[in-house]
Amino acid sequence: MNNEQLKIPQATAKRLPLYYRFLKNLHASGKQRVSSAELSDAVKVDSATIRRDFSYFGALGKKGYGYNVNYLLSFFRKTLDQDEITEVALVGVGNLGTAFLNYNFTKNNNTKIVMAFDVDKAKVGAKVGGVPVYHLDELEERLHDEISVAILTVPAHVAQAITDRLVKKGIKGILNFTPARLNVPDNIRVHHIDLAIELQSLVYFLKNYPSK
């Protein structure tokens, strides 16, 4: 993330990877321009929001023309630091952790899980999806300055203690897949994805707001 992006509202910044992925596909299929309506349809964000988001990037769509795909792509590439690979550590090589290691995100963006940790003897020492699994005891020794992000896929009751160690070692961002609410200092960013809650909330909305 560079300074330019700091001026962009957080809600907009969160949508950047979504726009970026779609625009890359458009570019690959040879399209030069795209309208906010087309984008809206593809990324499921309403077109007024898209126009407002894009105005922060200095991209002003022209009526009857739309947006220049190359301009947007070069903006996103710069803003999202796509030329640089962000190295990530994962803690907890259970069912979910194993799935992430096998998937490893490389198709869609430049983040890469480079090491994993667990306490289970059966998992430590192995490679999963090409990624080495180390014992949690080696966390401090193995983590290095290039790794600023961690994914947590451990049982909830150990999440806070592991978080404290990650923060102490200099991790700046945590993607938390455990149900635990994590306490971290203000300069650390936690994104919480509780899949059970998301699913429950989807079912609730389907039941209570069936038409939309």
What binding mask, one character per residue, do residues 149-188 give for ligand ATP by CB under 6 A, x or -? ----xxx--x---x--------------------------
CB of 204 to ligand ATP, least distance (A): 24
15 by Cβ neighbours in 10 Å (0-12 / 13-18 / 19+) ranks as: middle
Give the whole-angstrom CA distance, residue 174 versus residue 160. 11
User: Can residue 95 be called a binding residue for ligand ATP (CB under 6 A)?
Assistant: yes
What binding mask, one character per residue, do residues 114-133 give for ligand ATP by CB under 6 A, x or -? ---xxxx--x----------
* Given 42, 69, 96, 190, the residue binding ligand ATP (CB under 6 A): 96
Q: Which residues pair with 149 in a beta bridge?
A: 88, 173
CB of 171 to ligand ATP, least distance (A): 15
Burial 146-170 (b: 16+ CB within 10 A, else e): ebebbbbbbeeebbeebbebbbebe
Per CB under 6 A, residues contacting ligand ATP are 91-97, 117-120, 123, 136, 153-155, 158, 162
